[in-house]
Amino acid sequence: MRSFDVRLFCFVAMTMLMLGALPFSSDAQLDPSFYKNTCANVHSIVREVIRNVSKSDPRMLGSLMRLHFHDCFVQGCDASILLNSTSTIVSEQGAGPNNNSIRGLDVVNQIKTAVENACPGVVSCADILALAAEISSVLAHGPDWKVPLGRRDSLTANFTLANQKLPAPTFNLSQLISTFANQSLNITDLVALSGAHTIGRAQCRFFSSRLYNFSNTGNPDPTLNTTYLQTLRSICPNGGPGNTLTNLDLTTPDTFDNKYFSNLQSLNGLLQSDQELFSTVGASTLSIVNSFSSNQTLFFEAFKASMIKMGNIGVLTGSQGEIRKQCNFVNGNSGLATFATRVESSEEQGVSSA
């Protein structure tokens, strides 16, 4: 194993050891066994719903992972992304990174109904999102981890922060690093979590500028493989509909593996924010991409650690927030909705804006 691989492995191993030895949250003591005495079967209930949905819609696995990410980066992992607009709440679903983009809201509602039938008033929607992300990874043949549980649901959403806090698919490396650092996530977390783009799809509108007019040059992105460029141009003609879909991982689009990183090495990253991790001159992320490409186990271990770390951002616990009865509304306010859950659209990007 190369010296950098050894250092990275030691860093990941130490992170996992610390996660196992210390409370899962400084505020909250999130605990994988939180529901042991109140809803012991919650994991299997969530898994069964997702397994059934993914049989006909394998893309949903990437969508659910992305939903957890888009929740945590706004005001913490509190299920605020699920709240619909009401007379007192402006939904995050209408924010730029989410509008006509996020998917899986109806599936979360199906899960919540199944969980409420078994354990009424016990399991939060925030924990359902965290469990759904882990289960989606496993069903896509990716890693599993013990999900720290005990989050509670927010009483508010934040449309403004949803527009400000989520990384865009056109971000350069400096912008990506800064956005993740604002969440106390480092460059290893950035690269590992970006690896969730090994499954899912993206709409043409999120990368078409790379094909025709990169950075207003009138030319394609020079870091895009020319063969891949022609393939993408056939899928996304200039001036065509922006909602056409293509795979985030052109190699194994529905399998959670490390092919995402070998795609970057071949200049076959779909989004600018993906390829920046490898192609930025002098990038601090380059050696991590190379290590994950050559060692899937190393990637999986880093991904698990980063997902647990992300899942601890800004959690509500104890008497904070509430356990929503319906994930789309705070308790007692479902009658005030101004519109129902937004129509699901067809793009999931695991990490950047999955």
Annotated binding site: 71, 74, 76, 78, 80, 92, 167, 197-198, 249, 252, 257
Tokens matching residue 342? 């937004």
Distances (CA, A) of 334 to 85, 112, 234, 319, 327: 10, 15, 45, 21, 10
User: What is the distance between the alpha carbons of residues 265 and 283, in angstroms, rounded to a whole number?
Assistant: 13
46 within 8 A of 115, measured Cβ to Cβ: yes
- Binding-site annotation, residues for Ca(2+): 71, 74, 76, 78, 80, 92, 198, 249, 252, 257
Range list of H helices, the chain: 3-21, 42-56, 60-75, 105-118, 125-139, 159-165, 173-181, 187-194, 208-212, 226-235, 259-265, 272-279, 286-294, 296-310
Q: Which positions ≥6 away from 294 have C-beta within 8 Å?
A: 5
Active-site pick, 43, 68, 70, 141: 70
Instruction: Quote the radius of gyration of the chain (alpha carbons, Å).
Output: 20
The structure tokens 């705070």 sit at 330
- Binding-site annotation, residues for heme b: 197
User: What is the distance between the alpha carbons of residues 76 and 35, in angstroms, rounded to a whole number?
Assistant: 21
In 3D, which of 240, 279, 283 has the Cα closest to residue 263?
279
Tokens matching residue 202? 């993206």
- Binding-site annotation, residues for substrate: 167
335 within 8 A of 90, measured Cβ to Cβ: no
Tokens matching residue 163? 């527009």
Partners of residue 153 on adjacent β-strands: 322
Q: Judge whether 43 counts as a catalytic residue.
A: no
User: What is the distance between the alpha carbons of residues 128 and 106, in angstroms, rounded to a whole number?
Assistant: 13
Partners of residue 329 on adjacent β-strands: 326
Q: Which amino acid is at 308?
A: I
| The residue count for the chain | 354
Active-site amino acid positions: 70
